[in-house]
Chain A
């Protein structure tokens, strides 16, 4: 029997807990949603489930020990975080890094940007129901992680590089893997794009889903691909070049609507740009003196092991470095790099002690995730899931 008198039915909203542990949120995020049927009326996000007090720990650790904390921020692209921290410390210590080491760093940073964007874009595929692309993409990511493993011994939490440059030169095997990557990634990316970019189902699903205007994105201090998808061409690599990015020729892709499809496309194009940057860096390295890979800063670069075991002075130096006996200048600096998700900045106040007096991390995820509740208002629940994965919210960076 149909009830035609609608006044009799009182309007009632449903409260729905999306998270903290929900397979579709790819991480620990809680959103309490007020639902009208399938439409989200109001949302409130709770964060902090994996908060690990990095800023407090950093006040009690030597500068080189903080690198391992930065690994655990955006763990899809830890090398960028490591390099960002090294560069911040180099700025504080006024260390000039040799050109070749800067190019080596650029290769690593761009590779990890590709790895980061691959994950994000393939996860958008998963959330639209295209699980296959995700498995294809992991082959490419595996190559990149093999390369990280060959350089520093770790895959995910890399702790790659040292203050002043790199911990060791690239081995011949690294260059071989890099050649394989340069062959395989464009092929894989093309295949990936063929599966999704002009796919009618994918386009219908993502165009117009979770949009944000450029004005709103700037109000919320968006950075990175999410801001560029809204149409603002702000890229730290171009605006405040570091590690010799000013010598490289690349374009900054921008979107127009700031919706899920635009975010996807901006990331897609950035991967092609990264490939081009890597090729340019490999060309540039050939012109630099071989086997120079760090600035040889006595405060941070460990002496070779043979000398440590056989030579008194080298042993003393080794001990001093490991105990963090660096001559830290007083000062206050901010250094930002273009991380996988946007402007990743390190703000350090040094009062001269072994550890920073205060260390603050500008975590792009934390800052733009606050707009999420506003972006999903009036959306369908399934669009909210897609919006979250396309914003690439990483729990490690969000909660620090």
Chain B
């Protein structure tokens, strides 16, 4: 099945199952991308897992996103699912307000999401509700900020001996 047909098929199924939970879809390079409402993400992943035709039973990747200029939709999570039998690959995205960064955890469907979600909690402060053990994983426990958010500079902002304006950093 080519990418466009896959996009239409998944879109149709998601729309029929979740109605308003489905927000938009797009073909990005080689992946169909679906933007969903964050409240239904766990149900949507479970639905795609159990659906006989699609059966997305492998979680490839999970990444946090931060777009400070999208007011009210600053934070996001990207999920990449894979059907290993038919080699279908899709990407799901959810976006939400930075002031209430709660997303249902998908650990009930994929055990492997455990550390992936912990990582994004650690770096973006995304609160995965229903996660069995949501605590920092790569950074130290007493860190007070979320370093992958765009407002945190890579280097110490008080230093004056480094001028990066010429380097576009």
Contact = CB atoms under 8 A, between A and B. Distances in A.
Contacts of A60: 154, 169
Contacts of A358: 63, 65-66
Interface string B64-88: 0110000000000010100010010
Contacts of A51: 138-139
A44 B59 CA distance: 23
Nearest to B91: A334
B21 interface: no
Interface in B2-41: 28-31, 33
Contact of B28 (A48, A240, A332, A369): A332
Given A47-B138, A91-B29, A56 B148 contact: yes
Contacts of B104: none
Interface in B34-69: 57-61, 63, 65-66
B169 A355 contact: yes
- Interface size on A, as a range, is 35 or more
Contacts of B130: none
Nearest to B28: A332
Nearest to A53: B147
B111 to A, nearest CB: 4
Contacts of B80: 334, 347
Contacts of B116: 367
A354 B112 CA distance: 33
Interface residues of B, number: 36
Contacts of A221: 58-60, 110, 112
A333 B80 CA distance: 12
Contact of A354 (B29, B30, B168): B168
Given A232-B84, A331-B29, A358-B63, A219 B137 contact: no
Contacts of A366: 115, 119
A345 B116 CA distance: 14
A101 to B, nearest CB: 22
A234 interface: yes
A333 B29 contact: yes
A220 B168 contact: no
Interface of A: 47-48, 51, 53, 55-57, 59-61, 91, 216, 218-222, 232, 234, 239-240, 323-324, 331-334, 336, 343, 345, 347, 349, 353-355, 358, 360, 362, 366-367, 369-371, 399-400
Interface of B: 28-31, 33, 57-61, 63, 65-66, 78, 80, 84, 87, 91, 110-112, 114-116, 119, 123, 137-140, 147-148, 154, 167-169
7 contacts: A47-B138, A216-B111, A221-B59, A221-B112, A232-B84, A343-B60, A355-B169
